[in-house]
Amino acid sequence: MATKKRRVKRHNPNKRAQRFFQNTVIWTWEAELDPETGTQLATAKSKTPRGWETLSPKTTHSVTRYRNNWIICVRAFCRNIHGEEWVEEEVRIVENQALNDFQDLYHELRAEVLSAQRLDQVVDVGWIAGTYGKEANDERLSLWGLGHYTPERQATFRAVNEQYLEERKAA
């Protein structure tokens, strides 16, 4: 009797990347700008056996290119005149999509977040995206990498926001 040859699945780089980066968080704030280029700085961390490690810019770029399951949160860091701080957020769960395809969704969620707040209370606006494996858990995302209030941060955000609104109006 002939034995059946075991069928081996072919290597799928997308599935491998999803497994490898299933605990990765990437975030940016509009007021955090690279002083040399003027572009937003993105920070990425991935959970490894040694704990949470910061990813290199090259690796971060690779993570955004591959299709993955993402929890996407656009958030506004707010502070009132009494010094009370909070985060206003809008969250969406997107499956099997590259993070690079998220730009249109960002504009929509940004508008929703800012419409729920008084603009003079907004310190900064940004997004955070986290990958997940089997189950989406967005509870930890809104406060990750929040940073601290400074008048300079708020002033930078206001300047960036004016420029953003002018660009959106022109488009």
Asked if pLDDT for residue 138 goes beyond 70, the answer is: no
Q: What's the token pair of residue 13? A: 């780089």
Q: What's the token pair of residue 121? A: 């209370």
Q: Tell me how crowded residue 95 is: count the other CB atoms within 10 A of its CB.
A: 10
The residue ranking higher by pLDDT, 115 or 12, is 115
Asked if pLDDT for residue 2 goes beyond 70, the answer is: no
Q: In which element (H, E) is residue 122 found?
A: strand 122-131
Q: Tell me how crowded residue 69 is: count the other CB atoms within 10 A of its CB.
A: 18
Mean model confidence pLDDT for the chain: 87
- Cβ–Cβ < 8 Å for 127, 116: no
Predicted local confidence at residue 94, as pLDDT = 87
Return phi, psi of residue 119, to 5°.
-65, -30
